[in-house]
Amino acid sequence: HGVVLGICYGAQLLAVKLGGKVATAAIPEFGAVPVQVTAPFGTYAGGTVVMNHNDEIVTLPAGWQAFASTAHCQHALVGTGGVYAVLFHPEVDHSEHGDALLAHVAFTLADCAPDYTYDLAAYVDQCVAWLRHVVPVGDVELGLSGGVDSAAAFALAQRAYGSRLHATFVDTGFM
């Protein structure tokens, strides 16, 4: 027994796999879009959210209900019985009250304990210590594509190795 939350394309995929229908939206939504709560979903209060879709859920799977909509999308937040789908992005800072939506899914619906703490500074220190342990001496070469992953790896390696680090930009053709 668990809870599933599909976000954006994941919402569309869940809807289709469970018997709903997805079609091209009459009016695609991108960027900041106001969402209105149409049925209670924990303490989620709607607000301006980040949307990024050309397609939308037009027919809900059997038993699903809508919890939130926009001016152009009646199924922005839907689901039932442990399977929920949200067409917008509650996980980004620009989505108002997204944290309340995610907290409701995690702590109320999935019954997770809110006892996890995350200390980014401590995590960075642990990564830097591990890198120094793995390569304690000598120069370090790092291929940097410009994407988020390699940029984060570079930032950590720079802290760990300082002037020992030599980065090379690798043009993957995607930047």
Active site residues: 8, 89, 91
Please state, in angstroms and rounded to a whole number, the distance separating the CA atoms of residues 42 and 101: 7
Distances (CA, A) of 101 to 10, 76, 104, 106: 16, 13, 5, 9
Say which residues have a Cβ less than 8 Å from residue 20's Cβ, sequence separation at least 6: 57, 58, 59, 60, 61, 64
Cα–Cα distance for residue pair 145/156, rounded to 1 Å: 15
Q: Is the sign of the CA dihedral 87, 5, 11, 73 positive or negative?
A: negative
What tokens appear for 40 in the block?
């209670």
